[in-house]
Structure 1
Amino acid sequence: MSEIQIHQQQQYGEKAVAVKDTYRDDGGENAAQSGLVTRARQSMSDLFTIFAAGFALISDGYQNNLMTMANVLLKKEYPEQYNSTVSTRVSNALLVGEVIGMLVIGLTCDYLGRKWAIVITTVLIVVGGILATASNGYTINGMFWMMTVARGTIGFGTGGEYPASSVSASEAANERTLKRRGPLFILVTNLPLSLGGPFAVIVFLIVFSACNQAHYSTVWRVCFGIGCIWPLSVFYFRIRMLNSSLYRRGAIKKRVPYWLVIKYYWKSLIGTCGAWFLYDFVTFPNGVFSGKILDSIVKNGSIKRTAEWQLLLGVLSIPGVLIGAWLCDRIGRKQTMMIGFGGYLVFGLIIGCAYDQITKIVPLFVVFYGFMQSSGNLGPGDMLGLLSSESYATAVRGTCYGISAAFGKAGGAIGTQAFTPIEDNLGKRWTFIIAAICGVVGVVVTFLFVPNTSGSDLKESDEKFRAYLVANGWDGEMGEDDLKTIADEGIPPAVVDDVAGFKAQ
């Protein structure tokens, strides 16, 4: 036993040494027999987790943006049957499924582990994609109902990807590159999600051109079918991945003290839930209906021409992701998010107040529209996932992340449902003016409630959370397999002192 371990044993007890001695480095027979995970195996699993999270989230971005051009195409193919009610229902099916998936899979990835939650989401996306591709019915309306159910199934899977993949990527990045965790997390989560928009349009243009700009049914079915390829491409890596060492050390699988969790994290939850609601209320309907908006201002334009403008709009939103990743460690997560919400105010007012004039110059409108979307990516788009993965302890990270993201998608569903009535009753300019108002409210919510995480080791917040639970009478078990421990074993005295005054009242 090393001198450090002897000191730990004297200070915390023998079981604390077992907790601190996370890995076996020999990687041989002794490690296998003891049930411990070798450092090399865990390190390789963390790398695969980061890679698989990034690649799979491209499929989520693809699915989120697939209906942008599909809505235009289906309206051309079924001008009477595919009315605004049906269009909104099909588009909202994904959002409703995502809300349910975020809540259910958020809990699942805390109870069952990150690995099996991710496997479940992959299967659901593939099954839903197959059903959407095969959408049919005795009537055209029946076909649209099947499409609605299929898109809802996909939404359950893609919604579950948010907490499952994102918290896994955050924990893996914490182990592999702590000092660059923030930028790395953004590059494997929000960047792939944002790339999914232009990627979906590129696939659409290729398929549409291959079908000689006709055979609309073939086009949207092939585009739906292609969405099954991306999650399948990383399925093997997901089957082989391990739960993070943070999870195996900090999971609570029985007697989760949710009331104490709420008392400890109520302010952070208001911040992440409220900001995410406002962000998706603006960004999701503006993504889903951007093809419709462009189609209305491109005079005598073809479907292909509209898609090309849509592609430019999607590309213009990407720089914001990269700028946000660069800023988050330099000026702070909270400040970066307020700057992004401020962009909604600036560009939303410019477009809204000058709508009649700016829409006469399509390139200028697309540029300002793209800047508004890009500012959203720079701020809340980048920071909400990062803050939601850093603000909560490992034991409840998936649950709190899922709740926050679910509030966001609820905002997206409400925004999508309200988008057409706002256009019809107030005028198209008001969709942008309301975006500006949401930007102001977003700045206020962020300033008052969102924690300004510093990028410190997630293990530190886990220890503080554990000490808080113990200080308030919780005596359950934390961890699994080789890292299981009783609640109050091995907590350093300094951490106990740090939370001594923070007892639930």
Structure 2
Amino acid sequence: MATNTSDEIKDGAIQTVGSQDPEAPSAEVSGQKQSLSDKFTIFASGAALVSDGYFNNLMTMVNVILAKQYPKSYTASVKTRVSNSLLVGEIFGQVVVGLTCDYLGRKFAIIVTTLMIVIGGILAAASSGKTPEGLFWMMTVARGIVGFGTGGEYPASSTSASEAANQRSLKSRGPIFILVTNLPLSFGTPLAVSIFLIVFSACHQAHYNTVWRVCFGLGCLLPLSVFYFRIRMLNSVLYRRGAIKRDVPYKLVLRYYWKSLIGTCGAWFLYDFVTFPNGVFSGTIIASVIPSTTKDVILKTGEWNLLLGALALPGVFLGAFLCDRLGRKYTMMLGFSGYLVFGLIIGLSYDKITKIVPLFVVFYGLMQSSGNMGPGDMLGLISSETYATSVRGTCYGLSAAVGKAGAAIGTQAFTPIQTNLGKRWTFIIAAIVGVVGVLVTYFFIENLSGEDLAERDRRFRAYLVENGWDGEMGEEDLKALAEDGQIPGEGIVVPNEAFNEEK
């Protein structure tokens, strides 16, 4: 039978029998200290997730100036490799850190991801080589390290933010989660372009080598700014009660969550397949539609790209507003429908609409904004609410990793699609993906109600027990206490009264 900790509330403090870790539930963690930690966690999660949006979208403009700086060496294949390296790193980071934050705790995982982002960012800024090819390989490896860190932020920061928001404000958990996860991720786009334009102007629209190095280096300041708060945070109450430290019954997990995993993995793959290449190559796309007679093409490209990033932000707030009113599932379907509408408008009228750059950028921005409103907002929220605390990081990380695989494939396929089918087809394919996304969401995504995450933990625990699992749940082995008679049961720990009633 599954074991769990036994909780008591005394003088506003949470005390759980049977643990010796000062951050585990056995130690008295005052309500005030835990509350402060929850606030730290929510704040630090948002501030650090900006790094992912920043480093992903920084390449939008860096690709443009590297092509100018190294016109012969920075070929389409090299551009794709450098851009994709962060995505590949993110896939590994999401899987590894997803497992780590379930086994070793949210705090440990978050500190590791912060260090990886900083180290990778420093190496990227210092990229060098005897030949341009050597420089690009060092940049590729450095961005891969950054990717491991930013990828790990998804399960580590998002699960922490969800659990902290659940503890702080259950009724507002959905909007709070969106505003500290997808908003920073989306804000990374205009932030990266704004910093690029400032540095580019400070360098008198020249000195390309200095521009991209400074931009990479400034990205390290984002995670460092919240490192103190991350060191001070505590693991959530939900985690301390529901963690499975060993012998995780993955077969039972898969049997219980197979449908949900198809939904979150599939929808995330489709979303990232569209949104990431359109983000990474948006600078290249916009540069291609700016008239060749225009002076300062790089500056104009950056300005239009800044507008594009700004137009994508309102979708985040609209999704936060609709998630409780319309529901997570139907908000996501609405967002995928936006891909269908705006993708077809741009794709079918591409030759005409690209002659009017402002109109093209507005519709392009509306397509990106609909993605933010739907799958951009909802996928993280749904993944953090669907799965039990004991496997939340693992399932969240796996879903996000499949999504990043879609991003890598989409980025790899982007140039061949433009070359062989025509530029309009990148938008027509986005419309097709929107239709598939609606279907996957409808058939495989649960219509969540925003209930207390502890309720889902209890149902999952009951399922494990009914299917013969006899492992331990919580941060301490309580079997010895049960055998000593400190917890009722014949050598078996009874988790709590609510569980007994469910059983």
TM-score between both structures, scaled by the size of structure 2? 0.93
Structure 2 match to 1:130: 122
Q: Does the 8 Å CA contact 2:8/2:14 hold for their aligned counterparts?
A: no
AA at the equivalent of 1:331: L
d(CA) in 2 for partners of 1:269 and 1:42? Answer: 31
Q: Does 1:144 align with 2:136?
A: yes
d(CA) in 1 for partners of 2:497 and 2:452? Answer: 16
Structure 2 match to 1:92: 84
Structure 2 match to 1:501: none
What secondary structure, in the 3-state scheme, does the structure 1 residue paired with 2:51 have?
Answer: helix
Query: Which has the larger displacement, 56-65 or 130-139?
Result: 56-65
d(CA) in 2 for partners of 1:52 and 1:386? Answer: 17
Q: Does 1:380 align with 2:367?
A: no
Considering fraction of residues, name the structure with more helix: 1
User: Given the alignment, which residue of 489, 496, 503 partners 2:502?
Assistant: 496
- Please tell me the root mean square deviation across aligned C-alpha atoms, in Å: 1.9
AA at the equivalent of 1:183: P
User: 1:476, CA displacement in angstroms?
Assistant: 1.0
Q: Does 1:315 align with 2:310?
A: yes
Once the two structures are superposed, residues 147-166 of structure 1 have per-residue CA deviations (whole angstroms, 9 ceiling, x without a partner) of: 00000000000000000000
What secondary structure, in the 3-state scheme, does the structure 1 residue paired with 2:299 have?
Answer: helix
What secondary structure, in the 3-state scheme, does the structure 1 residue paired with 2:127 have?
Answer: coil
Show the 5 A alignment for 1:67-466.
Answer: 67-300=59-292, 301=294, 302-466=297-461
What secondary structure, in the 3-state scheme, does the structure 1 residue paired with 2:326 have?
Answer: coil
Q: Does 1:20 align with 2:7?
A: yes
AA at the equivalent of 2:8: D
5+ residue gaps in structure 1?
A: 1-14, 498-505
d(CA) in 2 for partners of 1:366 and 1:407? Answer: 29
Q: Does the 8 Å CA contact 2:13/2:28 hold for their aligned counterparts?
A: no
d(CA) in 1 for partners of 2:305 and 2:400? Answer: 26
d(CA) in 2 for partners of 1:186 and 1:482? Answer: 35
Q: Does the 8 Å CA contact 1:122/1:235 hold for their aligned counterparts?
A: yes
TM-score between both structures, scaled by the size of structure 1? 0.92
The sequence identity of aligned pairs, in percent, is 71
Once the two structures are superposed, residues 301-333 of structure 1 have per-residue CA deviations (whole angstroms, 9 ceiling, x without a partner) of: 420111000000000000000000000000100
User: 1:480, CA displacement in angstroms?
Assistant: 1.3
AA at the equivalent of 1:448: F
Once the two structures are superposed, residues 449-489 of structure 1 have per-residue CA deviations (whole angstroms, 9 ceiling, x without a partner) of: 01111100000000000011011111111111599997752
d(CA) in 2 for partners of 1:483 and 1:52? Answer: 33
d(CA) in 2 for partners of 1:371 and 1:487? Answer: 54
d(CA) in 1 for partners of 2:35 and 2:340? Answer: 43
Query: Which has the larger displacement, 35-44 or 219-228?
Result: 35-44
User: 1:38, CA displacement in angstroms?
Assistant: 1.2
d(CA) in 1 for partners of 2:473 and 2:14? Answer: 25
User: Given the alignment, which residue of 42, 57, 60 partners 2:49?
Assistant: 57
C-alpha spacing 1:252/1:214, structure 2 compared with 1 (3 Å): same
d(CA) in 1 for partners of 2:494 and 2:443? Answer: 33
Q: Does the 8 Å CA contact 2:87/2:408 hold for their aligned counterparts?
A: yes
What secondary structure, in the 3-state scheme, does the structure 1 residue paired with 2:29 have?
Answer: coil
d(CA) in 2 for partners of 1:468 and 1:321? Answer: 36
Q: Does the 8 Å CA contact 1:467/1:488 hold for their aligned counterparts?
A: no
Q: Which runs of at least 4 in structure 1 moved beyond 3 Å after TM superposition?
A: 31-34, 481-488
User: 1:232, CA displacement in angstroms?
Assistant: 0.5
d(CA) in 1 for partners of 2:364 and 2:10? Answer: 50
User: 1:36, CA displacement in angstroms?
Assistant: 1.9
d(CA) in 2 for partners of 1:131 and 1:245? Answer: 37
